[in-house]
Amino acid sequence: MHGRDDTFEGLRALSAFDGDSAAAGRALHSYLARHWHDVAVALLLVRGAAAGQCRLAGLIGPDGAELFPVNDPLGRADLPRFDDELSRRLVGGRGPHAVDLAPNERGAPLAQALLGPASLLALPMPNEGRVDHWLVLASDARHRFEGTDPNAALRDATLAYALLTRPLALRTITAEARRHHREIEGLADVQRLLHPDNPAIRGLDYAIHWQPADTAAGDYYDLMPLPESATGGDAWGVMLADVSGHGAAAAMETVQFDAILRTYAGTEPPGGPAGVLNYANRYFFSRRHRRHFMTIFGAGCQPEQDMLTYICAGHPPAVHRRGDQVTLLGQGDDAGIPLGILRDHRWENASAEFRRGDLLVLYTDGMIEARDASGNAFGIERLAALVGSGDPGPAATMARVRDAVHAHQGGSVGIDDQTLIALRRLP
Domain boundary among 113, 143, 174: 174
189 domain residue, yes or no = no
348 domain residue, yes or no = yes
Contact 407, 379 (CB under 8 A): no
pLDDT at 9: 59
pLDDT at 181: 64
Contact 364, 217 (CB under 8 A): no
pLDDT at 231: 45
Which range has the worst mean pLDDT, 182-186, 270-274, 295-299, 361-365?
Answer: 182-186
Domain boundary among 174, 208, 225: 174
Q: Is 131 strand, coil or helix?
A: strand
Residues 383 and 345 placed together within one structural domain of the fold: yes
Which range has the worst mean pLDDT, 59-63, 232-236, 348-352, 421-425?
Answer: 232-236
186 domain residue, yes or no = no
Residues 152 and 289 placed together within one structural domain of the fold: no
Residues 118 and 234 placed together within one structural domain of the fold: no
Domain boundary among 174, 209, 231: 174
Which range has the worst mean pLDDT, 221-230, 257-266, 267-276, 324-333?
Answer: 221-230
The helix, strand and coil proportions of the chain, stated in percent and rounded to the nearest 5, come to 35, 25, 40
Residues 210 and 148 placed together within one structural domain of the fold: no
Is the pLDDT assigned to residue 178 strictly greater than 80? no
Residues 206 and 85 placed together within one structural domain of the fold: no
pLDDT at 427: 87
Q: Is 223 strand, coil or helix?
A: strand
Domain holding 114, by residue range, is 4-174
Residues 321 and 280 placed together within one structural domain of the fold: yes
pLDDT at 74: 46
Residues 109 and 210 placed together within one structural domain of the fold: no
Residues 210 and 137 placed together within one structural domain of the fold: no
- Do strands 335-336 and 418-425 pair parallel, antiparallel, or not at all (unpaired)? unpaired
147 domain residue, yes or no = yes
Is the pLDDT assigned to residue 6 strictly greater than 80? no
The tally of domains found in the chain comes to 2
Contact 361, 401 (CB under 8 A): yes
Query: How much is the average pLDDT of 88-110?
Result: 91
Query: How much is the average pLDDT of 355-363?
Result: 96
190 domain residue, yes or no = no
pLDDT at 314: 94
Provide the whole-model pTM: 0.62
Residues 262 and 162 placed together within one structural domain of the fold: no
Is the pLDDT assigned to residue 187 strictly greater than 80? no
Q: What is the mean pLDDT of the chain?
A: 84
Is the pLDDT assigned to residue 232 strictly greater than 80? no
Residues 225 and 305 placed together within one structural domain of the fold: yes
Query: How much is the average pLDDT of 297-311?
Result: 89
Residues 164 and 209 placed together within one structural domain of the fold: no
Is the pLDDT assigned to residue 190 strictly greater than 90? no
Residues of the chain with pLDDT > 70, as a percent, come to 81
Query: How much is the average pLDDT of 183-195?
Result: 68
- Residue 380, domain CATH: 3.60.40.10
Query: How much is the average pLDDT of 223-250?
Result: 76
Residues 143 and 199 placed together within one structural domain of the fold: no
pLDDT at 1: 47
Which range has the worst mean pLDDT, 1-10, 184-193, 313-322, 403-412?
Answer: 1-10
Query: How much is the average pLDDT of 204-232?
Result: 79
Confidence bin at 73 (pLDDT 50/70/90): very low
- Residue 168, domain CATH: 3.30.450.40
179 domain residue, yes or no = no
Query: How much is the average pLDDT of 333-340?
Result: 83
Across 146-172, b (16+ Cβ under 10 Å) vs e yields: eebeeeebbebbbbbbebbbebbeeee
Is the pLDDT assigned to residue 34 strictly greater than 50? yes
180 domain residue, yes or no = no
Is the pLDDT assigned to residue 155 strictly greater than 70? yes
Is the pLDDT assigned to residue 14 strictly greater than 70? no
- Do strands 54-60 and 40-45 pair parallel, antiparallel, or not at all (unpaired)? antiparallel
57 domain residue, yes or no = yes
